[in-house]
Structure 1
Amino acid sequence: MGRWTDRLAELGIDLPGVVAPVAAYVPAVRTGAHVYTSGQVPIVDGKVAATGKVGAQISLEEAQQHARTCALNALAAVDGLVGLDSIVRIVKVVGFVASAEGFTGQPAVVNGASELLGEIFGEAGQHARSAVGVAELPLGVPVEIEMIVEVE
């Protein structure tokens, strides 16, 4: 075990398996010292955890939990490619939020992912970020998260 896998154990967090792609892409790609993940949706045990738009069918609190699930799925993609313990820092997080008309709380939704990364990685989890409201996401999910991670 290493520092990040030990930290997950301390927090009682189980990293899920890598989510199988739902189209023509791979979960993560390494180039040089960076891993780019594909957008990860809230899939748990092979099933979509929720569908709907934030601010209508999905509450802010539910959406934050789904963003957290997406971040765990992104970390699983990194782990599957290079191993979690090779992470130096989280560089950037991009969050997409399927938003009901008038919903403007996208940054608060994506905080679900950002706060998890802070819990796990501390200072190395501080990252640049974008939080974008969109009309629809794949499979009808409320949130999608992708990240760029620096690795050893």
Structure 2
Amino acid sequence: MSRVEDRLAELGLSLPEVAAPVAAYVPAVIDGDHVQTSGQLPFVDGQLPATGKVGAEVSPDQAAELAQRCALNALAAVKSVLGDLDRIEQVVKVVGFVASDPSFTGQPQVVNGASEFLGQVLGDAGVHARSAVGVAVLPLDSPVEVELTVRFH
């Protein structure tokens, strides 16, 4: 097991199976010395634990937990193409999409669920640039979606 996976185990987590795409794409691709993941939904055992808009059906705290799950799923997608998460040098960019009630403006706090998690797991290599974007709706009525750009060696 890799050092990254050991750290996940210390946090009580393990990498899930890579989520099957819900359309015509692959979970991750290598581009030079970077991995780009597709947007990852917060699937747990193939199911979304919650659906709806953040600030209405889904609380901001619950959405932050779901964003963490998206990041965990994204790490699984990275491993699927790299074979070993210890090859990660840096998470370069995180893009988080938050399906938001029209009055909700806390997208950055929701996406912190993913950002803080990556820092816990990867240390300095998990510090990244980021966008947190509010949107009207996401696939399957998911409250959040996260994609990563990772540099590796």
TM class by shorter chain equals over 0.9
Provide the secondary structure at the position in 2 that maps to 1:53: coil
Report the CA distance between 1:10 and its aligned residue: 2.4
Provide the secondary structure at the position in 2 that maps to 1:130: strand
Give the aligned partner of residue 23 of structure 1.
Answer: 23
The amino acid of 2:24's aligned partner reads A
Which deviates further from its counterpart, 83-92 or 59-68?
A: 83-92
The amino acid of 1:87's aligned partner reads I
Which deviates further from its counterpart, 89-98 or 42-51?
A: 42-51
How many residue pairs get aligned? The number is 152
Which deviates further from its counterpart, 55-64 or 41-50?
A: 41-50
**CA–CA distance in structure 2, aligned partners of residues 67 and 8 of structure 1:** 16
Structure 1: gaps spanning 5 or more residues: none
Give the aligned partner of residue 128 of structure 1.
Answer: 129
Structure 2: gaps spanning 5 or more residues: none
Query: Structure 1, residues 39-82: CA drift from partner, whole Å, max 9, x if none?
Result: 00011101122110000000010000100010000000001110
**CA–CA distance in structure 1, aligned partners of residues 42 and 3 of structure 2:** 26
Moved over 6 A (4+): none
Alignment of 1:33-44 (within 5 A): 33-44=33-44
**CA–CA distance in structure 2, aligned partners of residues 49 and 9 of structure 1:** 21
Normalised to the residue count of structure 2, the TM-score between the two structures is 0.96
How well do the aligned residues superpose, as a CA RMSD in angstroms? 0.9
The amino acid of 2:46's aligned partner reads G
Provide the secondary structure at the position in 2 that maps to 1:74: helix
